[in-house]
């Protein structure tokens, strides 16, 4: 079922949590709300669930106005950051809670409830913990139980608040992939909140980047990463180098070195900011054609899938570069070496700051 | 568990504080209390049993434990309501009420006793209206229950309050998001969480009420077989220099109390074992 | 309306029940005490409190508290250090033994001292030969009071000291401070509000204790009477206004206790 959020305003006291936020999520989509803490992403999720009231704006599920419905009537599956499992109930009773809570005339017979819970336990691969209490489970297991509990009532949409936020790095990775596979199989419209850009890029169909109560950009992971709408998105999704430079005659000048970049439109010379991601640099031993920058190697960290290198220009400016292990092996750079950096496959876009 | 008596620590003072604590505890509490058993040992089992099962003794026990149970029950119900109002709602005078909850612990029991007697006597400002309804307040088991309710009031409120405060808001939100009504949520999610605290508060109020003396003797009327509580019977035996009788009744009271406390503790332990720790 | 609250009507009902229960059980008795205390006018009130027997009772009450509170304070600090800082066998048993006086009827608390020191008691003959009187005399009153207030400081201090942990003390020791210096410079300042809190509660109980003291006092006016016992004597003699006048002093003490307790709680919260 699709979710439509229309011009939502929400404040807590004098703090404006959300300002004129609108969003559309298609049926069967997996969408991430990504932003730093205080950006309003969790508030937006809670508003969709009906856990927060709004001052202005509406929420529609499948074209139907849900704003007037109480949370208990909305039919959302909500998974809380700290799971919020009922610790005095067994895993089985936790998952069955939503079914048992239905009014008598709507409640399925006990046999049916049992069958549904067993089916969900199988889905989360935790059939053997049915009779345990939440206190006896690991964090990752609790998270899966919380998900099963939310799914038991066959929700129209699934809402997850920082679902992997309080787990170890290893478990996080596993559950992330599990969620993606689960979604591919069942296709429930899903909205999840995260502050971890890697998580959003890896799992989501589309990413909603939020900042200070507003939506900065909505797009596929590819779009928000490679074609960020503004400096905030660029900065938030991955590391970036900032250069103060001059635009003149279709070229970008750092000091007295001019680099030709396609797409630069400048009739008059003016100053500008250039943003370059660490992997967009190339390091060579020779000066080459003369459009490269001379710098000294200040720091090398070869641990990881890429090699991180900090370079210091003669002006004192630092440049953060990432090259592949293969390139690093060929170059044999050590600290103190003098090298030349140039840009590769650079596309240019100008941002309003 | 290790076989060592004390786990090694770099902090000093174990021997000193252990020695002093055990010494002072023995001197003030253990030696005097052991006198109860020392004294009873001078009685034959038959004499002991006769005092314990005398109709007057049994009537006093029944009254003491019955009214204590009733008052603890009243406090369990109203204590939860008061704690709920204090934690969940805001209303004028809330801070004052919150501070006043401990008033029964601070007010000397004799003062509470004469004030409650004055209020609930047939011509008192509350008793007058009870009398109109044909209810006798003071000098009946009802009066005793009222006094015991007063002294036991803080216990349930003070044990339930912190649990309600720390209750994770997300539990209620989770229940609501799963379609549960508010009442269902309170019944199935909130109450089971606060139940152990209610039980603890009930037990504390009960234990306090069983032994209570000062606030009860004025309002009780002290009629043997009718409104004579067990502590008063001990007092009466003492005034007759019947030390063995007083001691026997005291031992009986302690044994019954400890039986109840042990049962409550066992129940508590079962609860905590079942739910594990989160 | 938030998810976590009830309909307005239910809310109002609960608040009303809570407030009504309060008025009936707490406010009314308090009002009753002061109303009756001043029922014969201010002059009578002052005269009652200036009566030699009343003054003697107040003196006895203050002396009792002045002995009982410091002793239980020293015990409370030692016991909480022991229990909060060390792990040893039998700790749970020790804890329940410390709490024992709270679950014993005040009358039984008095009784045990009669069994120990009374004329027919274990040490009665020995004491009688040496003309030492403990029960039906001030020492008995003080002993019974120490018994009933025994755990009151320890109970407040143990959780405070536990919450504090051992780290600060360990840091002080690694910096070369001696055990005593560490205790005075690190531990005591950390628990000072807890100490004050314990003193306030212990003092209130020590001054107000009735049952235990009643058993061992012998009700000798001007000699072994504490203020609560004085209230009882006057009341049983049908001197109601006088009894309530004496009671009003104790009620005032209770109010001061509550105010001081609330203030200390505020200080504790502010520091955490």
CB neighbour class for C238 (10 Å; exposed up to 12, middle 13-18, buried from 19): exposed
Report, as an integer, the average pLDDT of B11-29: 93
Cα A12 off chain centre by: 25
Give the chain C residue nearest A73 (alpha carbons). Answer: C3
User: Is the pLDDT assigned to residue B1 strictly greater than 80?
Assistant: no
Whether A204 and A108 share a structural domain = yes
Q: Which residues in chain B have Cβ-Cβ distances shorter than 8 Å to A77?
A: 177
8 Å CB contact of B110 and C254: no
The closest alpha carbon to C255, from C38, C68, C27, belongs to C27
User: Is the pLDDT assigned to residue C93 strictly greater than 60?
Assistant: yes
Whether A197 and A266 share a structural domain = no
What is the residue extent of each domain of chain B?
A: 45-275
CATH number, domain containing residue A279: 2.40.50.140
pTM of the full structure? 0.85
**Residue B9: predicted pLDDT:** 81
Whether A259 and A144 share a structural domain = no
**Residue A333: predicted pLDDT:** 87
CATH number, domain containing residue A161: 3.40.50.300
Whether the Cβ atoms of residue A253 and residue A270 lie closer than 8 Å to each other: no
CB neighbour class for A136 (10 Å; exposed up to 12, middle 13-18, buried from 19): middle
Neighbours of chain A (3+ CB pairs under 8 A): B, C
**Residue B7: predicted pLDDT:** 82
**Residue C232: predicted pLDDT:** 93
A270–chain C Cβ distance below 8 A for any pair:
no
**Residue A352: predicted pLDDT:** 46
C13–chain B Cβ distance below 8 A for any pair:
no
C14–chain B Cβ distance below 8 A for any pair:
yes
Whether A265 and A293 share a structural domain = yes
- What does each of the 353 residues of chain A score in pLDDT, given as a tens digit? 899 999 999 988 888 889 999 999 999 999 999 999 889 999 999 999 988 888 889 999 888 888 888 888 888 999 998 889 998 899 999 999 999 988 888 899 999 999 999 999 998 888 899 999 998 898 889 999 999 999 998 898 999 999 888 788 888 888 888 889 889 988 999 999 999 888 999 999 999 999 999 999 999 999 998 888 888 998 888 888 888 888 777 777 776 667 776 666 666 677 777 788 888 888 888 877 667 788 899 999 988 889 999 999 888 888 899 999 998 888 888 888 888 888 776 655 665 44
Whether A111 and A257 share a structural domain = no
Report, as an integer, the average pLDDT of C240-248: 94
Of the ranges A80-89, A158-167, B3-12, B213-222, which one carries the lowest mean pLDDT score? B3-12
> What band does B93 get if pLDDT is binned at 50, 70 and 90?
confident
Report, as an integer, the average pLDDT of C249-263: 94
8 Å CB contact of B112 and C29: yes
Q: What are phi and psi of C248, to 5 degrees?
A: -65, -30
Whether A15 and A111 share a structural domain = yes
Number of residues in chain C: 272
User: Is the pLDDT assigned to residue C68 strictly greater than 90?
Assistant: yes
**Residue B278: predicted pLDDT:** 38
Whether A221 and A280 share a structural domain = no
| Residue in the block written with tokens 């038959």 | B46
| Residue in the block written with tokens 């910096």 | C175
- Residue at a domain's end among A236, A268, A292: A236
Domain that holds residue A334: 241-352
Number of domains in chain A: 2
User: Is the pLDDT assigned to residue C2 strictly greater than 70?
Assistant: no
Helix C138-148 with C52-85: angle, nearest 10 deg? 40
**Residue B82: predicted pLDDT:** 95
Q: Which residues in chain A have Cβ-Cβ distances shorter than 8 Å to C3?
A: 50-51, 70-71
- pLDDT tens for C163-186 read 888 888 888 888 888 888 889 888
Quote the minimal CA–CA distance from C7 to chain A in Å.
13
Mean per-residue pLDDT over chain C, rounded: 91
Q: In angstroms, rounded to a whole number, what is the distance separating the alpha carbons of residues A55 and A248?
A: 49
- Provide ipTM, 2 decimals: 0.91
8 Å CB contact of C112 and B32: yes
Quote the minimal CA–CA distance from C229 to chain B in Å.
8
C150: DSSP letter: T
| Cα separation values, B89 from A159, B20, B147, C16, C146, Å | 30, 47, 28, 12, 40
**Residue B132: predicted pLDDT:** 87
Whether A194 and A268 share a structural domain = no
> What band does B271 get if pLDDT is binned at 50, 70 and 90?
confident
- Residue at a domain's end among A236, A262, A281: A236
Q: In angstroms, rounded to a whole number, what is the distance separating the alpha carbons of residues A243 and A259?
A: 13
**Residue A345: predicted pLDDT:** 64
Q: In angstroms, rounded to a whole number, what is the distance separating the alpha carbons of residues C187 and C167?
A: 11
**Residue C250: predicted pLDDT:** 95
* Residue C181, both tokens: 């210096």
Report, as an integer, the average pLDDT of C113-138: 88
Quote the minimal CA–CA distance from A51 to chain C in Å.
6
Report, as an integer, the average pLDDT of C201-205: 95
User: Is the pLDDT assigned to residue B261 strictly greater than 90?
Assistant: no
CATH for the stretch B45-275: 1.10.3720.10
Give the chain C residue nearest A50 (alpha carbons). Answer: C3
- Residue at a domain's end among A173, A204, A236: A236
Whether A306 and A221 share a structural domain = no
**Residue C1: predicted pLDDT:** 45
CB neighbour class for C102 (10 Å; exposed up to 12, middle 13-18, buried from 19): middle
Whether A213 and A330 share a structural domain = no
Quote the minimal CA–CA distance from B117 to chain C in Å.
9
- pLDDT tens for B147-206 read 999 999 999 999 999 999 998 889 999 999 998 888 899 999 999 889 999 999 999 999
Q: Between B179, B188, B278, which is nearest A87 by CB? A: B278
Whether A149 and A258 share a structural domain = no
173-192 of B, contacting C, C-beta below 8 A: 173, 176, 182
B80–chain C Cβ distance below 8 A for any pair:
no
The closest alpha carbon to C141, from C200, C61, C53, belongs to C61
> What band does B276 get if pLDDT is binned at 50, 70 and 90?
low
Report, as an integer, the average pLDDT of C2-13: 83
- Plot region of A125 (φ>0 → left; ψ -120 to 50 → alpha; else → beta): left
Quote the minimal CA–CA distance from B59 to chain C in Å.
18
The closest alpha carbon to B168, from B147, B142, B194, B145, belongs to B194
């Amino acid at each position: 079922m699709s979710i439509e959020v229309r011009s939502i305003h929400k404040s807590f006291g004098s703090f404006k949590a959300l300002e004129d936020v609108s969003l559309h999520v298609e049926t069967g989509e997996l969408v991430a709300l990504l932003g730093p803490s205080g950006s309003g992403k969790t508030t937006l999720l809670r508003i969709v669930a009906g856990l927060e009231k709004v001052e202005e704006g509406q929420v529609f599920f499948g074209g139907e106005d849900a704003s007037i419905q109480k949370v208990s009537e909305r039919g959302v599956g909500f998974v809380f950051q700290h799971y919020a499992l009922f610790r005095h109930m067994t895993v089985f009773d936790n998952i069955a809670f939503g079914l048992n809570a239905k009014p008598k005339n709507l409640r399925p017979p006990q046999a049916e409830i049992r069958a549904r819970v067993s089916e969900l336990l199988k889905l989360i691969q935790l059939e053997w913990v049915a009779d345990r209490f939440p206190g006896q489970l690991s964090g990752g297991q609790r998270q899966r139980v919380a998900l099963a509990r939310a799914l038991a009532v066959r929700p129209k949409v699934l809402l997850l608040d920082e679902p992997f936020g309080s787990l170890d790095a290893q478990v996080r990775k596993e559950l992330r992939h599990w969620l993606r596979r689960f979604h591919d199989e069942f296709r429930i419209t899903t909205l999840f909140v995260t502050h971890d850009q890697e998580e959003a890029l890896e799992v989501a169909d589309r990413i909603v980047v939020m900042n200070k109560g507003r939506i900065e950009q909505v797009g596929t992971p590819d779009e928000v990463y490679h074609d960020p709408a503004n400096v905030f998105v660029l900065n938030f999704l991955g590391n970036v180098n900032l250069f103060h430079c001059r635009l003149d005659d279709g070229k970008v000048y750092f000091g007295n070195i001019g680099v030709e970049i396609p797409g630069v439109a400048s009739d008059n010379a003016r100053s500008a900011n250039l943003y370059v991601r660490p992997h967009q640099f190339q390091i060579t031993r020779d000066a080459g054609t003369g459009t490269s920058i001379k710098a000294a190697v200040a720091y090398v960290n070869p641990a990881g899938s890429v090699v991180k290198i900090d370079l210091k220009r003669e002006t004192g400016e630092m440049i953060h570069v990432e090259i592949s292990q293969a390139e690093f092996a060929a170059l044999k750079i050590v600290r103190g070496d003098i090298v030349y950096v140039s840009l590769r496959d650079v596309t240019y876009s100008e941002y309003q700051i | 568990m290790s076989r060592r008596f004390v786990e090694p620590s770099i902090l000093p003072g174990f021997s000193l504080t252990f020695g002093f604590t055990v010494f002072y505890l023995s001197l003030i509490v253990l030696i005097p209390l052991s006198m109860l058993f020392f004294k009873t040992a001078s009685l034959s089992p038959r004499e002991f049993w006769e005092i314990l099962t005398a109709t007057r003794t049994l009537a006093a026990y029944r009254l003491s434990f019955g009214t204590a149970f009733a008052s603890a029950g009243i406090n369990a119900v109203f204590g939860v309501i008061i704690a709920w109002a204090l934690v969940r709602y805001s209303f004028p005078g809330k801070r004052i009420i919150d501070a006043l909850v401990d008033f029964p612990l601070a007010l000397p029991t004799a003062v509470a006793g004469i004030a409650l007697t004055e209020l609930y006597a047939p011509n008192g400002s509350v008793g007058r209206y009870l009398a109109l309804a044909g209810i006798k307040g003071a000098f009946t088991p009802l009066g005793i229950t009222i006094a015991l309710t007063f002294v036991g009031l803080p216990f349930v409120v003070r044990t339930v309050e912190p649990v309600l405060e720390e209750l994770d808001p997300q539990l209620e939100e989770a229940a609501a998001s799963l379609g549960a009504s508010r009442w269902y949520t309170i019944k199935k999610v909130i109450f089971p969480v606060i139940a152990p605290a209610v039980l603890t508060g009930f037990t504390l109020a009960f234990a306090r009420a069983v032994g209570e003396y000062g606030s009860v003797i004025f309002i009780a009327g002290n009629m043997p077989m009718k409104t004579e509580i067990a502590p008063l019977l001990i007092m009466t035996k003492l005034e007759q220099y019947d030390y063995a009788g007083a001691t026997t009744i005291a031992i009986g009271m302690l044994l019954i109390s400890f039986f109840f406390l042990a049962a409550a503790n066992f129940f508590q332990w079962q609860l905590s074992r079942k739910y594990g720790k989160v | 309306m938030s998810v976590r609250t009830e309909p307005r009507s239910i809310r109002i009902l609960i608040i009303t029940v809570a407030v009504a229960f309060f008025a009936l059980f707490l406010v009314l008795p308090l009002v009753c005490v002061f109303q009756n205390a001043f029922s014969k006018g201010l002059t009578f009130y002052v005269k009652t409190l200036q009566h030699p027997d009343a003054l003697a009772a107040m003196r006895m009450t203050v002396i009792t508290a002045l002995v009982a509170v410091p002793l239980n304070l020293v015990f409370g600090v030692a016991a909480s250090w022991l229990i909060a800082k060390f792990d040893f066998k039998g700790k749970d048993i020790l804890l329940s033994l410390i709490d024992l006086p709270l679950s014993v009827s005040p009358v039984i608390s008095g009784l045990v001292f009669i069994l120990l020191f009374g004329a027919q008691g274990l040490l009665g003959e020995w004491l009688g030969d040496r003309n030492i009187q403990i029960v039906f005399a001030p020492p008995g009153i003080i002993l019974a009071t120490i018994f009933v207030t025994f755990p009151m400081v320890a109970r407040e201090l143990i959780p405070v000291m536990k919450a504090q942990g051992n780290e600060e003390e360990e840091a002080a020791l690694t910096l070369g401070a001696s055990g005593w210096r560490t205790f005075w410079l690190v531990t005591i300042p950390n628990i000072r509000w807890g100490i004050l809190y314990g003193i306030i509660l212990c003092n209130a109980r020590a001054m107000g204790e009735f049952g235990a003291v009643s058993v061992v006092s012998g009700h000798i006016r001007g000699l072994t009477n504490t203020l609560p016992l004085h209230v009882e004597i006057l009341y049983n003699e049908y001197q109601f206004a006088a009894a309530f006048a004496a009671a009003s002093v104790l009620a005032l003490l209770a109010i001061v206790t509550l105010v001081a307790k609330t203030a200390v709680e505020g200080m504790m919260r502010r520091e955490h």
